[in-house]
Amino acid sequence: MKKKILLIHTGGTIGMTRDLSSGVLRPDHFYASLLKVIPELSAIADIEVEIPFVFDSAELDFQHWQRLAAIIAARIDAVNGVVVTHGTDTLAYTASALSYMLRNVPVPVILTGAQKPLDELRSDARNNLINAVELACADIPEVCIFFDYQLMRGNRTSKNHINFFDAFHSPNYPLLAEVGINIEIYRTHILHPGGPFRVFNEFSPALAVLKLFPGCRCDYFQPGDDIRAVLIVAYGAGTIPLRTGDLPARIEKWLRQDKLVFLDSEAHGGRIEPQLYESGSRLLEMGVISSGDMTFEAAATKLMFLLGQYDQPEPIKASFQKSLAGELTELS
């Protein structure tokens, strides 16, 4: 019997149409005819299409993630898998957020998109969609991103190329599957539900992000009373300037104001190790918390998620340092 797949379209280049006079790409309602354009999809599975909104993914925020999670949760018992088509720009954020919200997801939830619209020559949309639907029929109970023949854990990915078709990478976790002549699924890399399926809904926007650059005095960065957590995107293993400017004093001030302070790195691959250098050790002593080997997307969405779940700082700090959905390699 054919598997049932819920296909949710949210917008992005994959479904955009080019305005012929200006060349600008805009969201379009191409999905009405999707199954006619790619009839192979119906050969793979029984496809049910939902279109909650159609946006460039730059427009999305946690309210859209909440809508998506609600649609998926409502249908999860009735389908074998879910495919979400989405703009590539914030795809890694949505995938990370959904992985925290849809805990112990029992079926594959595969997000995909395209670098070129489906109706253009040499588009990657067709391949990405067909393969995402095929993989959504397999036993891969995770929130994933499929892009350019590779299936990745969603909360381990970042968009790393603007022009090439291999637009996503998973710098700190191996691929879950690869598509060639055959589909290779790397079973040992796949998570298995550690408990019953549960949906967590709350998010909070009370997060501010400070990205460092040489010469940054950062005076413009004044997180207000409504901000409960600051995520610093530092250098390399988690270093900041100790002697140039007054960032350490500012961080101490935020901590005295009962804000939580977290540390990430602009480098994508590897784990931050703040204790390696003087500045990072000082931050750890102050109570700043390291984001380990999480991507920026996974860390930022996790903080918004945890700030929404908890009012008190302790469970936020403790949960940030644990893997909720495979986004972090915990040190034993």
Question: Does residue 85 touch ligand ASP according to CB under 6 A?
Answer: no
Tell me whether residue 13 or residue 239 sits nearer to ligand ASP (CB atom): 13
Choose which of 94, 112, 115, 290 interacts with ligand ASP (CB under 6 A).
115
Question: Does residue 292 touch ligand ASP according to CB under 6 A?
Answer: no
* Secondary structure of residue 308 in the 3-state scheme: helix
Tell me whether residue 92 or residue 324 sits nearer to ligand ASP (CB atom): 92
Question: Does residue 12 touch ligand ASP according to CB under 6 A?
Answer: yes
Question: Cα separation of 166 and 277, whole Å?
Answer: 35
Site mask for ligand ASP (CB under 6 A), range 34-63, x = bound: ----------------------xxx-----
The closest alpha carbon to 107, from 134, 133, 143, belongs to 143
Cα–Cα distances in Å, from 265 out to 274, 290, 313?
10, 9, 22
Question: Cα separation of 231 and 38, whole Å?
Answer: 43
Question: Does residue 15 touch ligand ASP according to CB under 6 A?
Answer: no
Question: Does residue 113 touch ligand ASP according to CB under 6 A?
Answer: yes
Choose which of 88, 112, 291, 301 interacts with ligand ASP (CB under 6 A).
88
Choose which of 5, 80, 81, 89 interacts with ligand ASP (CB under 6 A).
89
Tell me whether residue 80 or residue 115 sits nearer to ligand ASP (CB atom): 115
Give the strand pairing for 229-234 and 158-159.
unpaired
User: What is the chain's alpha carbon radius of gyration, rounded to the nearest angstrom?
Assistant: 21
Cα dihedral 289, 295, 296, 298 in deg (nearest 10): -90
> What's the closest the beta carbon of residue 55 comes to ligand ASP, in angstroms?
7
> Do residues 5 and 137 make contact, with C-beta atoms less than 8 angstroms apart?
yes
Which residues of this chain interact with ligand ASP, rule CB under 6 A? 11-13, 56-58, 87-89, 113, 115
